[in-house]
Amino acid sequence: MPPDANIGLDLLDSRDALLCVIDVQHGFLARLPDARRTELTHRIRFIVEVAARLAVPTIVTVEDAPLNGPTDPAVLGVLPPDCREFDKRVFGLMGQPDLAGRVAATGRRTAVLVGLETDVCVLHSAVGLARAGWRSVIVSDACAAPGDAHAAGLERARALGVETIHTKGLYYEWARSLAGLARLKAHPAVIAPPGLEL
């Protein structure tokens, strides 16, 4: 299905969203400075918790788990019980039939991506989703790559038609109203990570 020409004019709607958590594994996290690694895992954990509260389906990938490890425990610990890790053997998840099938099975048309690395697996996955007709959005402060590769990956993504948003923007677009915020703040509240002012 071709993408809707006006799709980028809309705010993100949690009812049409799926969250793709890409390769948040020790092998990739270890390439980042300590402070950035901690900030990143806290933001991804927060987004996963918000997605769960709003019933946004989550797809989790791991690349070469024997080498890079499983999903980071901070993120793994907040995944919904029915969420499993998919072994990703290609850089772009839409290039792998079981993953493409899982994306399609959600019935959602907006893919929100977080994880590692911005210029490779996040970029390839985002572009593949967009080319297959999904609205594809990278959360710019919830993905990373070493050095200047992060900025280069975001620049390349935008040039190829992928949207970007930041964690705060995603939170408020998914919440959409005071009632939506109340749902996220209901006990137990979804707590913003350190350094994120909501």
Q: Is the pTM of this model over 0.85?
A: yes
pLDDT tens profile 168-191: 999 999 999 999 999 999 989 999
Has residue 32 been placed in a domain?
yes
Q: 53, 57, 25: which is closest to 41 by C-alpha?
A: 25
- Whole-number percent of the chain with pLDDT over 90: 92
- Secondary structure letter of residue 193 according to DSSP: P
Has residue 192 been placed in a domain?
no
Q: 164, 168, 171: which is closest to 8 by C-alpha?
A: 164
Has residue 127 been placed in a domain?
yes
Domain count, the chain: 1
What CATH code is carried by the domain that includes residue 124?
Answer: 3.40.50.850
Has residue 3 been placed in a domain?
no
pLDDT tens profile 97-131: 999 999 999 999 999 999 999 999 999 999 999 99
Has residue 97 been placed in a domain?
yes
Residue 111 CA to residue 170 CA, distance in Å, equals 12
What domain range is 101 assigned to? 13-185
